[in-house]
Chain A
Amino acid sequence: MNGAISLANMRSGQSGRIVQIEGGFGVNRRLDTLGLRVGKRIKKVSRQLMRGPVIISHGNTRAAVGFGMAQRIWVEIEQP
């Protein structure tokens, strides 16, 4: 997991691959419903104020991920 950072700490506009999702079956299941899983390439679109949700895009889907959940999703950044 060299160089992986959490989705919450990614900068807007950065892309990367999900390398680990901390958390139990429930969290994984919820993320899985929208196709978010280890190995998936995502891009952070933006973040909201007051530790609000993080917006990501993957393929043609855009999703809002709560801040706490975003702290538990680890992403390996792709160098542009």
Chain B
Amino acid sequence: MKKILLMGNPNNGKSVVFNRLTGANVIISNYPGTTVDFTQGKMRIDEEDMMVIDVPGTYSLDAGDKAEEVAVRMLEGGDIVINVVDATNLEKGLNLTMQLIKKKKPMIIALNFWDETKHKGITIDFQKLEEILGVPCIPICAVTGEGIKKLTERLKEAKFSKFDYKDKGKWHVIGDIIGQVQKLSHHHHTLMERLGDISTTPVFSIPLALVILFFTFKIIRFIGEGLIGYVFEPVFEKLWTPILLKLSAILGSNGLIHDILIGKLIEGKIDYGQSFGLLTTGLFVPIGAVLPYVFAFYIMLSVLEDCGYLPRLAVLVDGLMHRLGIHGLAIIPMMLGLGCNVPGILSTRILATRRERFIAVTLLSIAVPCAALQAMVVGLMGEHMVYGLGVVYGTLFVVWLVLGILMAHLVSGTSPEIFMEIPPYRRPYLTHLLKKTGIRTKWFIKEAIPFVLLGVFIVNILYTLGIIQFVGKYTAPVISGIFGLPKEAIGALLVGFLRKDVAVGMLAPLALNLKQLIIASVVLTMYFPCIATFSTLVKELGFVDMLKASAIMIVAVLIVGGMLNLIL
């Protein structure tokens, strides 16, 4: 099968072109470094199957970072290169094009964002460009699909360019080509461009960031609570409860199997928060209580991603983040981590050095609560919402800062300075938003629900066998002594290793006072990542660094938990 490589600068729409060609599900975002792993799909032209590979975006072929290394390696095995060039930024695209020409691969050029050139007063004579370079040049607009057909039709005309130049005179040659094919007419700054510039000056960017984040979380809560109140709870109450009650009757309302599947009936009724059976709490927590928030979170994250706000946020927080030994771009894993730590940790691959990745991953798994956990903490706090959550989030933020600053001083290695392109603001496209949110939500369902079920199952068995009570008795001095929590809470803390959200759910019936609730929430968030996060952590950091991260975590949680017990 022929291998077609999609290559080009970061953030120039390659992934959208890929989706157009293959119809595959690929996450498209408007910040650089998203596609560190490559994606492949199939397309069919004239009865021939071809493999299309979405190569990570790269500015050059010098292999300066991970994405470039991957790109260079993949180039070797490709048959045809579709070189995607941002038509609004010909110079940058031609820089890579010149390097691709030296590699002597059959090439075809797709001039993307063709529609935007008109607004920007750029006229490109693409036929002339085709003449100069000797390879087909096709203007396209990937988001609307314009020109994609032409691109596939002319794919077989791809050939290697006979264009010759000396490396030393590269920029001169590029300038010369641009002089021949591009005309600029004066254009007024568009509203988007003005907005783009304004949102990078501190006077506007800081308030803007606060407003955006405030509304983001407002909307997440609005969507999340709406879904829970009007969709999920009614479905559980009206459709699922009757089935469970029948099942309960069949099982005889008690016994081992009944306890594992349905759990305890509270006053003869099923209580999805407290019954704690596999089919009651085990299903309700991930689906009814957490999924709506995760879904809402992913929608908003996708909007911020697609419109291009995240890189600006990265620039804004870079000064602060550098004191934590990571650069501004690390805000992206942190924000992803607020949804689920696993994709957060995976996305630390956009960071350049091992030191940065270690710091980012450790901070993420200790001080960044995932949506599942947050939803449960919110539920746990109940009437003490504002004060309780304030203390919990405040503590976590301080932990995040202090740990980061400490690690910046103690972890050896370097953290390079930020240097990145800031993409223009772009209008998000609904289909892409939905697709992306869908992929992420599906991923969450696949990963999370089995773990919650497994967690509830294991805990039910451990409880029935009396193991949790046993462990609780012997660790009680530590738990009650340092954290000031009742010894029953140890059960919840044990479960926390499997799924923290379930653990928080287990704390609910213990009638803890506000201080204990706050300590339990903080300790649970910090003390161990859930097992899915943990296995990702081992995979990404390696065994030794995982041990280091765990040691930091244990020390941190003992200090912070103990201090909260003293202070509050």
Cβ-defined contact, A64 with B62, below 8 A: no
Min Cβ gap A30→B in Å is 6
Contact among A30, A37, A51, A53 for B328, CB-based, below 8 A = A53
Min Cβ gap B400→A in Å is 17
Cβ-defined contact, B422 with A59, below 8 A: no
Contact among A32, A33, A64 for B318, CB-based, below 8 A = A64
Known: A33-B64, A45-B200, A49-B202. A62 touches B320 (CB 8 A): no
Contact among A50, A61, A63, A68 for B417, CB-based, below 8 A = A68
Known: A55-B200, A67-B417. A61 touches B92 (CB 8 A): yes
Closest to B196 in A: A62
Cβ-defined contact, B92 with A35, below 8 A: yes
Min Cβ gap A50→B in Å is 3
Min Cβ gap A62→B in Å is 4
Contact among B201, B328, B418, B419 for A46, CB-based, below 8 A = B201
Count residues on chain B whose CB falls below 8 Å from chain A CBs: 38
Contact mask B182-211 → A, CB, 8 Å, 1/0? 000000000000001100111001100000
Question: Residues of B contacting A46 with CB < 8 Å?
Answer: 197, 200-202
Cβ-defined contact, A30 with B419, below 8 A: yes
CA distance A62 to B201 in the complex (A): 13
Question: Residues of A contacting B89 with CB < 8 Å?
Answer: 59-61
B319 contacts A by Cβ under 8 Å: yes
Contact among B60, B88, B171, B417 for A69, CB-based, below 8 A = B417
Cβ-defined contact, A51 with B319, below 8 A: yes
CA distance A32 to B327 in the complex (A): 21
Question: Residues of B contacting A63 with CB < 8 Å?
Answer: 419-422
Count residues on chain A whose CB falls below 8 Å from chain B CBs: 31
CA distance A49 to B202 in the complex (A): 7
Min Cβ gap B430→A in Å is 26
CA distance A32 to B96 in the complex (A): 11
Cβ-defined contact, A52 with B64, below 8 A: no
Min Cβ gap A42→B in Å is 13
Question: Residues of B contacting A9 with CB < 8 Å?
Answer: none
Cβ-defined contact, B422 with A62, below 8 A: yes
Contact mask B77-88 → A, CB, 8 Å, 1/0? 000000000001
Instruction: Give chain A interface residues in 16-55, CB to chain B under 8 Å.
Output: 29-35, 37, 45-53, 55
Contact mask B334-346 → A, CB, 8 Å, 1/0? 0000000000000
Closest to A38 in B: B171
Question: Residues of B contacting A45 with CB < 8 Å?
Answer: 197, 200-201
Cβ-defined contact, A64 with B420, below 8 A: yes
Known: A29-B64, A53-B418, A66-B417. A48 touches B95 (CB 8 A): no
A4 contacts B by Cβ under 8 Å: no
Question: Residues of A contacting B64 with CB < 8 Å?
Answer: 29-30, 33
Instruction: Give chain B interface residues in 108-158, CB to chain A under 8 Å.
Output: 120, 122
Question: Residues of A contacting B201 with CB < 8 Å?
Answer: 12, 45-46
Closest to B199 in A: A46
Question: Residues of B contacting A35 with CB < 8 Å?
Answer: 91-92, 95, 171
Q: Which residues of A contact B (CB under 8 A)?
A: 12, 29-35, 37, 45-53, 55, 57, 59-69
What are 10 A-B residue pairs whose CB atoms fall within 8 Å in the complex? A33-B59, A46-B202, A48-B202, A50-B320, A52-B319, A53-B328, A60-B120, A62-B200, A62-B422, A65-B417
Q: Given A34-B421, A69-B417, 14 other A-B contacts at CB below 8 A?
A: A30-B419, A33-B64, A34-B59, A46-B201, A46-B202, A52-B319, A53-B328, A60-B424, A61-B92, A64-B315, A64-B318, A65-B419, A66-B416, A66-B418
The 10 A-B residue pairs with the shortest CB-CB distance, nearest first, are A66-B417, A52-B319, A50-B319, A33-B59, A46-B201, A62-B422, A64-B315, A55-B200, A66-B418, A46-B200
